Structure 1
Amino acid sequence: MPLLPLDLTRLVWPLGLAALLGAVGVRQVSRYWRMPPGTVRQQVRWATFGFVCGILFFIVSMLSGLFADALGSDLLFPLMVASAIASLLAVLAIVAGLLLSLLRYRLYDADAVIGRSAAYGVLTLGFVAVFAAGEKAIEALAEAYLGGSLGATAGGIAAALAAVVVVPLHERVGAWAERRFQKHLLALRHDLPHLVGDLRETVGAGRIADAAVTAAMAGVQASRAAILAGDTVLAAHGALPDAVASWAHGREIAAEPVANAQRDPLFPMRVPLASEAIGQIGWLLLGPRPDGSLYGRDEREAPVEIAAPVARAIEIARVREARDRALNDRIAALEALVMPAPRRDRAASG
């Protein structure tokens, strides 16, 4: 029995529609890559993601329908059901992408959603491929060396083999998805601790705080950020230091409930800058994302991970600055005692 139906005229409509969708998809993706970063790019990203998912589901639906016509018999009903479900999912994916884009709701979650979808898709395909290849290989080995079929045992062994292979694959695919779709968050987690560790020996606490605020804003895509140490605003981006100081004046940040903090329009996320060796020295304050939404799980975890090295770097720089000031004052006092008065006057006039 041929794999495809002989009446090729039935392929004109699905192939034509697939070509049209493919052309529109390529145009949309090329337009997305040319756009500058910002809210509009995030909107187009959601629409593009929904459109690509819709095309994939449509391909599954078309192939299921073709195989149903070609194979018939017992596989006709399940393949037709799969084709109908895939068609429905294609429409839902396209509509959902457009709605998320138009409503501008949680636009900045697109990176995490696309990355996880790609990772799960690769893992699913990898598991199915390893399972199918393993089962066939085990059956062939059994027939060659044991003279018979293992039946369900071959499937069990293949499933166990696929599970063993998928576990390290999951880590690799997850790391790839993070590097590809969440590179700013990855840079915040891995690069900032090394950066502040180097800066703490050479620059002041303000420079370190400024570098941390810059990296935090880029990593979680915050609209504003600041570092507060006691009553001092060490660094602020997206908001004036005076505005941050006014916001913090008389406010018990640690005692404020999380629900109330999340409703705060200026800094809904507050991360304590603390380390076991030095205790808490201040707060990393983060504003909402440009679309007004709060952060997902990854964006909430990353600032917590970098809080300890940033706190240590700032405290070490502050201690070093205080020691240098005390040393300079002592040197100036000793020079005042040792240097004769006329020489001091000449040195001052010179």
Structure 2
Amino acid sequence: MQLALASAAQEKRGRFRLPPAVPPFSTRTYRIFTLIWMTALLLAIVGPAMGIYYRYAAADNNSQLVLGSRAGFGVAPGDATKIRFAVGPEARRSGIRPGDDIIAIYGLPLPAVMPVSEQALADNAEDPAYIAMGNLLYGTDSSSEVPLTVRGTDGRTREVVVVTGEQHIDSAARSVGLGPKLLSFIDILHVLFYPFLLWAAWILHRRNARDAVSSILSLAVLLTISAEQPSSFFLAAIGVPRVVNVGLFDLGNICLLAGILLFPHGRLSVRLAVLLAFLPVLLFLHGQLYQSVFIGFMIIAVLLLLRCLRQTPSSDLRQQIRWALLGFSGYALLRGVSILADSMKWWTETFATQMLVEVVAGLSFAAGVLVLQLGLLIALLRYRLYDAEVVISRSANFALITVLIGGIFAAANEGVKVFVQGLYGPDAGNSPGIFAAAVATVAVTPLYDKIQTWSAKKFQRNLFLLRDDLPECVRDLRETATTNELIEEVLLRIERGVRAVRSAAIVNGKVVSTRGVSAEEVEEWRQSREGQSLEEDSAESKDRLFPVRLPLVPSSDDVAPIGYILVGPRPDGTIASKDEQNALNEISESIARGIRNVIKREARERLVMDRIEANARRIEALEALLAGRSSPTLKQAPGPA
């Protein structure tokens, strides 16, 4: 059946048009993205595990937690000459006091203010003062005595000697109840959330692997895990340049912001496209400016989603956006807390306070990602993850059959063993196990269909009703309903069964019924498919209006269909699952026969009515003729004598 009308190819070309929404991945794009996603997943699993291993296998290096602690004091990256607090009792005994300014190392004068950020160290790599300070703060020598000249808060200068090593921070940790091994874990407590985050990333992508929005959000989670500690420790250990590690972290944040801006259905506008185009600027920013721009993007994304919520009428979509908004705003809040804590730790005045702030920063970051994933999963599982019912149903089938096989096998094996041992003694051999396996197989086979039917009713009720009830309904209606009434009922039940947002029916080349779409839109859709047969591709995910087309063939003997049922996407833009498409194909013949029978019945009824009306007209004409002939006779009749 050819849909012959104007071709969409006749539209004007040469002018770029922004698509209404981000399209699903094409086959090629899907394969490329899947390769990237699987690589990120592997790194997100191996990186943290190997990072923890390397950290615990290597020599203790807890002094990295507090800048300057290997020399017995704490300083800030903004000024390494200003001592914030002493670390450990040994440093206090050596004369280190909070508020001291280091003015010389080995007698070498230092600048009044000495930042030790990565950029500052690179810019002053040849400066003797920076070389001396770098060796003091980041060196690897232990038990080395380093003479310092310090100026106290009273303005007096004095000479002190510090001994470098891990003993300072270890003793400081013990004083607050932390062992050295536990201390080395203090900045990576967020790994406790990683199993759930990996599961969430898997669900987000596998829910609908070709959906760009959920897949981008999933990739963002994996990249963040791959670039954060302890994975970054593993990357450094195997020689990956730091710029690559930072790039992975930035790409994770870009993907996260893009996913939030495009949520829930990837709809595009010119303003949104411009905003998305500016996201890569994060790759070129660093430090506080990076954090400020990132938070700014996050606030804009949350505000846009809030506006979308206000403009959405009360529906499942509104609930979906509400849960997602909770996740996004919770992430923004907790990420802000993490950034604030990271900044505040350089202003703390004691070792215990800095450790507490360090824990708050790590846990709030992980909790933010966790809240984000919880909000998304509730939104997707409750309102978008329609295929989860299939997974649950199959899992229930597998679990029940496994339990039944195991239970029947164990019971049969034990029973046969007792029986055989009673006859032949303990030398029964393997016969009880073989017999039990046979019994389990024979017993489970008839139960399989019942288990499958039960799980379908329990977890795929809409699909079960579509497959079992719709054919019965068609058989009941074909003797009484009109064609329009029958097709309207069929479309209604199909929409419920596969959760489609729209549907339409074409019979004998005419649009006879529509739901959720106008007949004019269906005609325009037909025009755009000129020269294409609907039989060539019954499922086309790229088609935004009717991705599933169901040919109506009354019987296997009929080659040409009498029409088509056009099925729209789900509310999230995804198409019906393979199980749902198979169910539609199973019932298509019953629907086609019902429609054909109703059309034939209506034709017979019209023929009978036409004949009745024709006979009625003939009777009226005969009556009129008889009445005309009898009237003169009555007029000429003689009156009474």
1:168 is matched with 446
506, 512, 532: which one pairs with 1:234?
Answer: 512
- CA distance change for structure 1 residues 255 and 307 in 2, over 3 Å: closer, same or farther? closer
Report the Cα offset of residue 98 of structure 1: 7.4
* Equivalent residue, structure 2, for 1:248: 526
1:137 and 2:415 are equivalent in the alignment? yes
TM-aligned CA deviation for residue 230 of structure 1 = 3.0
Quote the offset at 1:212 in angstroms: 0.6
Residue 155 (structure 1) aligned with residue 436 (structure 2): no
Query: 1: distance between equivalents of 2:569 and 2:524?
Result: 19
Q: Distance in 1 between matches of 2:617 and 2:483?
A: 30
Q: Which residue number corresponds to residue 221 of structure 1?
A: 499
1:103 and 1:217 map into 2 onto residues whose CA distance is 20
| TM-aligned CA distance change 1:135 to 1:334, over 3 Å | closer
> Equivalent residues in 2 for 1:171-210 (5 A)?
171-210=449-488
Instruction: Extract unaligned runs of 5+ from structure 1.
Output: 1-35, 44-94, 345-350
2:551 matched to which residue of 1? 272
Amino acid at match of 2:408: V
Question: Structure 2 CA distance, aligned partners of 1:142 and 1:311?
Answer: 59
Q: Are 1:321 and 2:602 counterparts?
A: yes
Is 1:115 the counterpart of 2:390 in the alignment? Answer: no
2:572 aligns to what SS in structure 1? coil
Letter in 2 for 1:284: I
Change (3 A) 1:113 1:138: same
Given the superposition, is the C-alpha separation of residues 256 and 110 from structure 1 closer, same or farther in structure 2, using an over 3 Å criterion? Answer: same
- How many pairs align? 260
- Distance in 2 separating the partners of 1:102 and 1:340: 72
Match of 1:76 in 2: none
Give the 3 Å change call, closer, same or farther, for CA 217–163 of structure 1 in structure 2.
Answer: same
What is the match of residue 568 of structure 2? 287
TM-score by length of 1: 0.65
CA 1:40/1:128 → structure 2, altered by over 3 Å: closer, same or farther?
farther
User: 1:228–1:235: 8 Å Cα contact kept in structure 2?
Assistant: yes
For 1:164 and 1:341, the matched residues in 2 are separated by 78
| Separation in 2, partners of 1:115, 1:42 | 23
1:131 counterpart letter in structure 2: F
CA distance in 2, matches of 1:179, 1:294: 22
Q: Secondary structure at the match of 2:561?
A: strand
Q: Deviations over 1:222-252 (max 9, x none)?
A: 1111111133222211212222232224645
Residue 262, structure 1, aligned to residue 560, structure 2: no
1:145–1:113 CA distance, 2 compared to 1 (3 A): same
CA distance in 1, matches of 2:578, 2:545: 20
Amino acid at match of 1:180: K
Shift of 1:327: 3.0
Q: Is the 8 A contact 1:39 1:107 kept in 2?
A: no
Distance 1:252 1:310 in 2: 26
Structure 2 residue runs without a partner (length 5+)? 1-313, 322-371, 626-641
**RMSD across aligned C-alpha pairs, in angstroms?**
3.3
